Copies of this chain bind each other. A is one copy, B any other.
Amino acid sequence: MKQGKNSWKFTNGVYIAGNATVTGPKEAQGPLADTFDYSFDDLYCNEKTWEKAEQALLKKSIELTLSKTNTRQDAVDLLISGDLLNQNISSSYVARDLDAPFFGVFGACSTSMETVAISSSLVDAGHCSKVVASTSSHYSTAERQFRYPTEYGIQKPNTAHCTVTGAGSVLVQNEKSAIQVEGATIGKVIDYGVTNPLDMGSAMAPAAANTIVQHFKDFGRQPEDYDIILTGDLASVGTPIVKKLTEQSGYDIEEVHQDCGLMIYHDSQKVNAGGSGCASSAVVTYGYIMQQMMENKLDKVLIVATGALLSPTIVQQKESIPCIAHGVVIKRVKD
């Protein structure tokens, strides 16, 4: 059902049956390494091109999700997946090998929660029983598409992010399991005029703040209603901005806010502002957060995946970077 202005509440029981996270080597050296299901040793992931490497990450995350939940491919009613690459190729080519209907979506790094929100809605409505929601990103495919050829070795400013190499998938279903999807708040496109593609934190923070504040209003909640309010990839530049903007709207999230982009790497890993990419929120949420929930250490989390709808073509036409953030509430099902 509709909840407030821009939110949905899933009243018929929507659950996460299982999840899987796959990463590259750098993420496997980070503080959350133990929460990932599988990590490749190098960026090529046993493939010949970076694009095919990203497909390998995504494919493995879907296969692991199905095997971990004992789900046959033909029991999947729908795959919803999106990624950063032009024409959504990681998702489309992986979907080609899966015997299930497919929807491609694009929300840049907000894609993880866009796929979970749509999947949950379809399950809540009874249109689907089992939906796989997936996303991926890869450092090298993203760098060459959005910024400079990696061979060029450009020096990056401290505001730049490191795109997470990884993929995450969840199986959303109507059968009861340990983690429930309670609701979602769908974001608007927000543009504060940032034009620098090497400062995504500043660009995305206002969109995150807008969605978080709208979520509180729509559900009549306060920051303390959540164990964690998790943003996707605001990292060191965007994090203080989102806290300030939400505080200006009357909500102090300081005590409960965490950001995936700051959690996934050690400070010593030289990632400038922190992690980003569709996989940032996906592997941290489907890895660390859900593991903590399964271990009864977290009860209720609001995940706000943040996306910069950046396009090299249109930025060259002197446009600024519009951003968006979608929020999803997951909670531990108590026995």
Contact = CB atoms under 8 A, between A and B. Distances in A.
B2 A127 contact: yes
As for how many copies of this chain the complex holds, the number is 2
A314 B78 contact: no
A89 B311 contact: yes
Interface in A275-313: 309-313
Nearest to A9: B127
Contacts of A313: 51, 85-87, 89
A311 B87 contact: yes
Contacts of A99: 188
A2 B187 contact: no
Among A86, A125, A311, residue most surrounded by chain B Cβ atoms (within 10 Å): A125
A290 to B, nearest CB: 24
Interface residues of A, number: 57
A100 interface: yes
Nearest to A190: B96
B101 A82 contact: no
Interface string A82-116: 10011111001101101111111111100000100
Contact of A125 (B49, B121, B310, B311): B121
Given A87-B310, A93-B314, A317-B49, A114 B106 contact: no
A104 B105 contact: yes
Contacts of A186: 78, 101-103
13 contacts: A6-B77, A8-B127, A51-B314, A87-B106, A87-B108, A89-B309, A89-B313, A101-B188, A104-B105, A104-B106, A104-B107, A121-B121, A125-B125
For the complex of A and B, 8 pairs with smallest distance between CB atoms: A125-B125, A101-B186, A87-B311, A92-B309, A8-B127, A104-B106, A96-B189, A95-B189
